[in-house]
Amino acid sequence: MAAAALDAGADYVNDVTAFRSDPGLAGLVAERGVDCCLMHMLGTPRTMQRDPRYDDVVSEVKAFLEARLAYAVGEGVAEERVMLDPGIGFGKTVEHNLELIRRLDEIVAIGRPVVFGVSRKSFLGKLTGREVGDRAVATAAANVLALERGASIFRVHDVPETVDALTVAAATLTDRWPATSPRTTTTTT
């Protein structure tokens, strides 16, 4: 399926299994010279939320992403083509997600761009009591915290709200006006 998408003009491969479910995908990414995102997920989509447990969620996610980055590079993927996603909400409890956000700088320290995807996630609903469509403010708050900790790519549904929040945060954090626009790093899914 990824090959067909690339043949049709796609230039980015997002793999929620970080090349675990299809190890040949790394070779395809390397061969085509496209960007990729490797995400952490505990288990599979069907099992990931069945009592997820970690001794230290951040250390374990970081070690996983470092190992998958090494695998990708070992398969010929150019390191500068790899982005990393800690997989907020994928095999994690509310507490795990909050700890990942709190210590996101440890994931950023790996040295690759960090993709942050919390848009409308269920843990935000558990925290705020809001339904899926009413989580734009909670999403923006989490994105601002992630930006402050070094995330640089944001997956969102509510683009204008996120752009505004990240613009204000970037201007404050960089002490420059106008701040570099986060518009270049904000994408929709």
Please report, as a single letter, which amino acid is at residue 113: P
Count CB neighbours of 23 within 10 A: 11
From the DSSP assignment, how many helices (H) and strands (E) are in the chain?
Answer: 8, 6
Over the Cα atoms of the chain, what is R_g?
Answer: 17
* Rounded Cα–Cα distance for residues 153 and 146 (Å): 10
Tokens of residue 20, six digits: 């675990």
Catalytic residues: 121, 155
CA angle 40, 121, 114 (to 5 degrees): 40
Sequence-distant contacts of 157-166: CB under 8 A, at least 24 apart: 157/119, 157/120, 157/188, 157/189, 158/119, 158/120, 159/186, 159/188, 161/136, 161/137, 162/119, 162/136, 162/186, 164/140, 165/140, 165/141, 166/140
DSSP assigned state of 154:
E
